[in-house]
Amino acid sequence: MQKPKKLMPGATIGVISPSSPSETRSEVPRAVEYLSAMGYNIITGSNLNKTKGFVAASEEDRAADLNEMFRRKDIDAVFVTQGGYGAAQLLDLIDFEMIKNNPKIFTGFSDITSLHLMFNKFCDLVTFHGPGMARFNEEELTEYTKKQFFDALCTDKPLGKINTADKKKWLYKISGGKAEGQITGGNLTLVCSSLGTPYEIDCRGKILFLEEVDAEPWIIDHNMCHLRNSGKLKDAIGFVIGECKNCRPYDYKPGYNCDISLEEVLEYYLKDLSKPVLYGLPLGHTEDIATIPLGVSALLDADSKTLEIKESGVL
């Protein structure tokens, strides 16, 4: 895997909307103000937040912004406004060969999982599972999220162990053991969406990281079953499950009448695989987010409840 250059003081960050538009008009201006105050130069894509239904612009316009940011020599890193929906629509329009020849920092999460998987697979590029521009403001960017993010992008040393933001948080060892290998994955729904396509996730010999938000346990069961049927659970050597915010049976008109918890679903599919499984790290749709490089070597020790990133994501 090739690594992008680390984010240096005064670097230029290109901002695009490959998925949904920003929720409010002020999200991007306040993030630009925040990052500019830190000394970075910000350039926004030509088609940023051109709302078209539930996506930020047409497929062609969103892909054009992404390709342009990687093609331009004056852009050092590419940030997204947010996730949402629609990144997978762009896959046939992305110039993967050009991106492979112009490696840059790329960061985002949730729907951006589709792009992480493709950059890892077709560009051999390490990318970063971390917050989008919507978080970059004094009100919403916690000190933990800020430190983890810039440590990952600005330091050419391994991140080491990913700690919880709150020491009172309890991590659940679903199955013990150790596994060391490349880490891959992201949002469960988007990982499953890749199956059966040319863009399918490769889990062979890798640690599979998954996270989800606002999904009832039966929906997560459906997706975990899909991963099992596709052979991906067999291929992976270990599993890291991030905090899954609001993943419980709904209090109103549930999509399926059940009282099974998320933990029971995870146990059902993962506990008997004789592979390490750790649940609860701050990875994904949580107030505190740990940014991690995807495509680097990691050590999962479920017995000691640790995930250690053993390799830097940047040069």
What domains are there in the chain, each with its CATH number?
12-141 (3.40.50.10740), 160-309 (3.50.30.60)
Rounded to an integer, what distance in angstroms lies between the CA atom of residue 97 and that of residue 157? 28
| Interval 288-303 mean pLDDT | 98
Q: Which of 17, 68, 114, 211 is catalytic?
A: 211
Q: Tokens for 78?
A: 């590419």
Inter-CA distances, 34 with 65, 109, 148, 242, Å: 22, 20, 17, 27
Answer whether residue 251 shows pLDDT above 80. no
Residue 25 has pLDDT above 80, yes or no: yes
Instruction: Please report the pLDDT score of residue 241 as a whole number.
Output: 98
Asked whether 44 and 32 are in contact (CB, 8 A), the reply is yes
Q: What is the pLDDT of residue 260?
A: 82
Per-residue confidence (pLDDT) for residue 248, from 0 to 100: 85
Q: What whole-number percentage of the chain has pLDDT above 90?
A: 93
Q: Is 285 an annotated catalytic residue?
A: yes
Please identify which of the residues 19, 175, 243, 285 carries the catalytic annotation: 285
Residues 109 and 187 sit within 8 Å (Cβ to Cβ): yes
pLDDT at 230 over 80: yes
Mean pLDDT, the chain, as a whole number? 96
To 5 degrees, how large is the angle CA 257–CA 259–CA 265? 110
Q: What is the pLDDT of residue 255?
A: 62
pLDDT at 257 over 80: no
Confidence band of 253 (pLDDT split at 50, 70, 90): low
Q: Is 133 helix (H, G, I), strand (E, B) or coil?
A: helix
Catalytic hit among 17, 19, 20, 110:
110
What average pLDDT score do residues 299-307 get? 98
Over residues 258-265, the mean pLDDT reads 85
How much is the average pLDDT of 166-191?
Answer: 97
- Is 211 annotated as catalytic? yes
Question: Is pLDDT above 90 for 254?
Answer: no
Neighbours of 252 (CB within 10 A): 4
Q: Give every strand in the sheet of 297-301, ordered side by side.
A: 160-161, 306-309, 297-301, 178-187, 207-211, 238-242, 277-281, 172-175
Q: Annotated catalytic, 297?
A: no
Who wins on pLDDT, 72 or 247? Answer: 72
Residue 225: CA count within 13 A, CB half-sphere: 7
Compute the average pLDDT of residues 179-201.
97
Average of per-residue pLDDT across 83-99:
97
User: Using CA atoms, how far apart are residues 120 and 43, in angstroms rounded to an integer?
Assistant: 25
The pTM assigned to this predicted structure is: 0.96
Taking 80 as the threshold, does the pLDDT of residue 252 lie above it?
A: no
Note the pLDDT of residue 250. 74
With tokens 């891959």, the residue in question is: 184
pLDDT the model gives residue 258: 62
Within 8 A by CB and 6+ apart from 151, the residues are 159, 291
- Please state which of the ranges 27-36, 90-99, 201-210, 241-250 shows the lowest mean pLDDT: 241-250
Q: What is the pLDDT of residue 123?
A: 97
Q: What is the average per-residue pLDDT within 193-203?
A: 96
Q: Which helix (H) or strand (E) holds 307?
A: strand 306-309
